Amino acid sequence: MQMITQDRSVQYEMFSEEGNLAVAALVEEARELAGLDGPINPMEQAWNWLENELYALSRRPGFEEASDTAVREAAYDRFI
């Protein structure tokens, strides 16, 4: 299992450090996906993937705020 570390200056508006780390991992994976070549805009596909993953995370107990606007905006700012 890979250990995720987060730059302490980057916050994703989650209510817990565990939540911030979970979102950070998703954002970094989306950034990697955006760098892949494909027939359709990879940035748009990676952002759509990230939004779906944030929604899925929000369905887990303790991470309900992952689909909040503030979290999505913070994730987008880091994503781009």
Whole-number pLDDT of residue 1: 37
- Alpha carbons 7 and 45: distance in angstroms, whole number: 25
Residue 37 included in any domain: yes
3-state secondary structure of 4: coil
Residue 8 included in any domain: no
Residue 9 included in any domain: no
- Domain interval for residue 27: 17-79
- Alpha carbons 1 and 3: distance in angstroms, whole number: 6
Q: How confident is the model at residue 9 (pLDDT cuts 50, 70, 90)?
A: low
What is the reported pTM? Answer: 0.83
What one-letter code names the amino acid at 51?
A: E
